[in-house]
Amino acid sequence: MREPTTTSLYAFAKINLGLHILQKRADGYHDIETVFHRVNIFDTITVERNKSDRVVIQCSHPGIPTDQSNLCYKAAEYFYSEIGYDHELHISIEKNIPVGAGLGGGSSDAASVLRACNMLYGYPLDDNMLTGIASRIGSDVPYFLQAGSACATGRGELLEYFHLELPYWVVLVYPGVHIDTKWAYQSCTPNREAKNVNLKSLIQDNMLQPQTWVNALRNDFEPVVFQNHSVVMRVKEALIKGGADFALMSGSGSSVFGLFQDEVYAYEIAHSLSKTYDVWTTPPFFSPESIITERKAGV
């Protein structure tokens, strides 16, 4: 049987259920602790072999670079370097995840390219080899190679996957502010006291007690982002006033999500904020696999 020459994958966004910046490392990175969890917004990545003698990237978003600075290009380049082939790939990105929003869109896209390349070439690389390549591309990229939620430590590449079902409506809001991740890390102050908090246990043990999250779950990027971009803080305040049981900025920002037990409150605030910002709603107990199955079935 001939190997396929084209495949399309959904690259889902993530939110961070807590994000602690523990310390700056000797290599210039920071040690962190966070929990990654996917939500219902995704890019569509289509990868095709043999369409050219080089890596070519097309993107529906005019602001996304299509040269070697694109993480998808780096993913293809590293993959070819590992297997010893010449470049021969066409990558199409249908972009829905906003850029500089703390949702891991670029990282998710790059991981999808790695997975697609591995499939199109007959799976020459095992999971450990793919993870090694992903770590070279970016700290968040390894997470998107596998399904599920994960507790991330180190610079974000040390992953403990686990099953996490959120019994909440997730209202995700992008205020239209691009936050540079490098700037955010340079500007934040490490929270050494956070070393005493186990995010995974905190989340799992208090899943139905969101008030505990309010008191204990933090994103250490929030102070510096709120100080420099007050609109992000106003979005968080709006979600809380709109009935969110818990709200937090995702990643280095600027997206903010709110968790709602009440569906009516969730849709009312989503409708209100959508008049000004980009808003997405994820249902309780969401899994990306359900969306993939529905799309394949034409639902």
Average pLDDT score over residue span 92-103: 95
Please report whether residue 288 resides in a domain: no
Q: Has residue 299 got a pLDDT over 50?
A: no
**Is the same domain home to 105 and 154?**
yes
CATH number of the domain to which 25 belongs: 3.30.230.10
CATH number of the domain to which 274 belongs: 3.30.70.890
Which residue among 140, 220, 236, 245 is the active-site one?
140
Q: Quick check: is 205 catalytic? A: no
Interatomic CA distance for residues 286 and 136, integer angstroms = 30
Average pLDDT score over residue span 266-278: 98
Please report whether residue 259 resides in a domain: yes
Average pLDDT score over residue span 10-37: 92
Please report whether residue 231 resides in a domain: yes
Q: One-letter amino acid identity for 109?
A: D
Q: Has residue 278 got a pLDDT over 60?
A: yes
Question: Tell me, what DSSP letter sits at residue 276?
Answer: T
Please report whether residue 290 resides in a domain: no
Question: Which of the listed residues 162, 196, 218 is the one where a domain comes to its end?
Answer: 162
What pLDDT band is residue 5 in, cutting at 50, 70 and 90? confident
**Is the same domain home to 31 and 110?**
yes
Please report whether residue 296 resides in a domain: no
pLDDT at 2: 61
Interatomic CA distance for residues 171 and 97, integer angstroms = 14
**Is the same domain home to 54 and 77?**
yes
Residue 6: partners with Cβ closer than 8 Å, 6 or more residues away: 46, 47, 48, 49, 120
Q: In degrees rounded to 5, what are phi and psi of residue 119? A: -70, -45
Range of the domain at 119: 6-162
**Is the same domain home to 253 and 155?**
no
Total domains present in the chain: 2
Tell which residue, 144, 27, 6, 15, has the closest CA to residue 75.
144
pLDDT at 50: 72
Query: Which of 145-154, 204-213, 259-268, 282-291 is the least confident region?
Result: 282-291
Q: Has residue 69 got a pLDDT over 50?
A: yes
Q: Quick check: is 53 catalytic? A: no
Percent of the chain with pLDDT over 70: 93
Please report whether residue 289 resides in a domain: no
The model's pTM: 0.92
How many CB atoms are closer than 10 A to CB 70?
21
Q: Has residue 1 got a pLDDT over 70?
A: no
Interatomic CA distance for residues 34 and 20, integer angstroms = 6
Question: Which of the listed residues 162, 189, 210 is the one where a domain comes to its end?
Answer: 162
Q: Residue 107 corresponds to which tokens in the numbers above?
A: 């990282």
Which residue among 14, 74, 95, 236 is the active-site one?
14
**Is the same domain home to 55 and 70?**
yes
Please report whether residue 294 resides in a domain: no
**Helical axes 230-241 vs 263-273, angle rounded to 10°:** 150
